[in-house]
Amino acid sequence: MKIHDLIHRATAATPDATALLDVDGRAVPYADHAAAIAELAGLLTARGFAPGDRLLIVAENCHATAALIFAASLAGGVAVPVNARMTEGEIARIVEHATPRLIIFTTGVSPDAGRHAERWAATRHDTASGTIALCAPDGDVGEAATPDTAVILYTTGTTGAPKGVMLTHGNLIFAGRTSAELRDIEAHDIIYGALPMTHVFGLASMLMAASTKGACIRFEARFRPDRLYAALKGGATVFPGVPQMHALLMSHVAENGLAGLSDTPLHYVSSGGAPLDMAWKRKAEAFYGLALQNGYGMTETTAGICATKNPIGTPDVSCGPPLPGVEIMLDTSVGDSADAGVGEVLTRGPHVMDGYYRNAEATKSVLQADGWLRTGDLGRLDGDGFLHIVGRAKELIIRGGFNVYPPEVEAAFNDHPDVIQCAVIGRAIAGDEEVLAFVQCADPDTLDLDDLRAFAARSLAAYKRPSRIVAARTLPAAPSGKILKHKLASVFADRLT
């Protein structure tokens, strides 16, 4: 079974049911959705797209993005969705590595995609799913991904170089079915769709979950709390989000004196991408009148490893037990935590990626011969077998639900002529993490921080840019010269208040 078969099955069962509400409010029945996918698959084939080829989709959420992901599958190829908010350099690096046959930009809903399309001299096409632009980049197409690969999602990784996570049709179908069952999604449900489909949370837990059950997605190209409020008042029943979405919604309701949400048909709400704390969980549950569910996953595991399914008021801020069919274990030989039972989380099952595209060395470093994937995260299991994440061995920062990798941010600052070296860490704030940059320079008093921010912004997407920059003549370092990142926050505590 391929991912496009999900749409064919839903169309055969309920052709007139609404598959999605596009960003302009247009309702698209499953029959029309299937026809739009077939139209795009034909366009791809006519432009030379062949089985095994990669289709780079520079996009924000809309009907065209969803249709293109399934169209690549229908044409026998691989979808490579990337966020249109990335910089020109970030997209160029992915193009160089993925060697796509074609690039499509969702220009109809995204000004950023439009700007990228202009730089690539892409030609406009008006399709049933919306306006797009298409081009064929120069150069060889390169090697095919593994035969069952459906989607490649790029993650910068701890080395700063882009790594393409190969997710198979089986991975995505498993994730969609598991997500739908976890959320009790049925065909009549409307899923609020602000999570980007260019990232695994939105792709697996939103698009694939809805397609599995023949449910509807209400798309948002970009999150806005007023539109979320309108969507919940307007009938959305499932809301998977990240902490900032919940916080901004609660603030919007309070500031505008709006009515609460107790009279809405919403039956499931979750918060992923950052740890929960008990006080914030209680506040959110009181606001929604529903249990706030939590979970844990990563791109390499098609989003899901563990998840909760708690009743409201449960004093549980864990990530929950493993999902059905998923195994986890802890390697307690990893990490330097003094807490007994803490170790690196390993996982195995039908959710684990096929590997990194064109990167056998990186694949071998995390994917063991017996199928266990090393997550790089440190965790512990409680008496109920629920997983608690206590740290990140890979120093990954999750900001606004997006992955931020310190080496990439450090590289952007290190290119500045006045910077000797840079170290980047994350710091927990209410419901999220912020990015902190520490730069070593010859004279901190004369370093223009505004200029430095503008310099780094040219190569970093907005969510990767630090909220705080600390300039100093020296950074704490070991005798070898390696920066001691775990000491940065304490050494510069007086400048971080």
Locate the domains of the chain by residue range: 3-172, 397-495
SS (HEC) of the chain: CCHHHHHHHHHHHCCCCEEEECCCCCEEEHHHHHHHHHHHHHHHHHCCCCCCCEEEEEECCCHHHHHHHHHHHHCCCEEEEEECCCCHHHHHHHHHHHCCCEEEECCCCCHHHHHHHHHCCCEEEEECCEEEEEECCCCCCCCCCCCCEEEEEEECCCCCCCEEEEEEHHHHHHHHHHHHHHCCCCCCCEEEECCCCCCHHHHHHHHHHHHHHCCEEEECCCCCHHHHHHHHHCCCCEEEECHHHHHHHHHHHHHCCCCCCCCCCCCEEEECCCCCCHHHHHHHHHHHCCCEECEECCHHHCCCCEECCCCCCCCCCCCCCECCCCEEEEECCCCCCCCCCCEEEEEECCCCCCEEECCHHHHHHHECCCCCEEEEEEEEECCCCCEEEEEECCCCEEECCEEECHHHHHHHHHCCCCEEEEEEEEEEECCEEEEEEEEEECCCCCCCHHHHHHHHHCCCCHHHCCCEEEEECCCCECCCCCECHHHHHHHCHHHCC
pLDDT over 70 (residue 222): yes
User: What CATH homologous superfamily does 397-495 map to?
Assistant: ANL, C-terminal domain (3.30.300.30)
As given in the structure block, the two tokens for residue 27 are 């309702």
pLDDT of residue 335: 55
149 band by pLDDT with thresholds 50, 70 and 90: very high
Mean pLDDT of the chain: 91
Contact partners, residue 257, CB within 8 Å, separation at least 6: none
pLDDT of residue 343: 87
Reported as a single tens digit per residue, the pLDDT across 424-433 is 999 988 888 9
pLDDT of residue 392: 64
CATH number of the domain located at residue range(s) 3-172 in this protein = 3.40.50.980
pLDDT over 50 (residue 410): yes
Reported as a single tens digit per residue, the pLDDT across 94-130 is 999 999 999 999 999 999 999 999 999 999 999 999 9
480 band by pLDDT with thresholds 50, 70 and 90: very low
158 band by pLDDT with thresholds 50, 70 and 90: very low
Reported as a single tens digit per residue, the pLDDT across 260-273 is 888 899 999 998 86
Reported as a single tens digit per residue, the pLDDT across 354-405 is 999 999 999 999 999 999 999 988 888 999 999 998 766 667 788 888 878 7
Most confident of 115-119, 157-161, 275-279: 115-119
Q: What span, in angstroms and rounded, lies between the C-alpha atoms of 394 and 481?
A: 20
479 band by pLDDT with thresholds 50, 70 and 90: very low
Q: What span, in angstroms and rounded, lies between the C-alpha atoms of 424 and 278?
A: 28
pLDDT of residue 139: 85
pLDDT over 50 (residue 228): yes
pLDDT of residue 337: 47
pLDDT over 80 (residue 478): no
> Taking residues 243-265, what's their average pLDDT?
87
pLDDT over 50 (residue 154): yes
Note whether 239 and 264 are within 8 A (CB): no
pLDDT of residue 340: 67
| Residue 197 vs residue 274, higher pLDDT | 197
∠388-393-359 over CA atoms, to 5°?
120
Max Cα separation, the chain? 68
pLDDT of residue 338: 47
pLDDT of residue 481: 53
pLDDT over 80 (residue 276): no
pLDDT of residue 247: 80
pLDDT of residue 339: 55
pLDDT over 90 (residue 216): yes
pLDDT of residue 265: 96
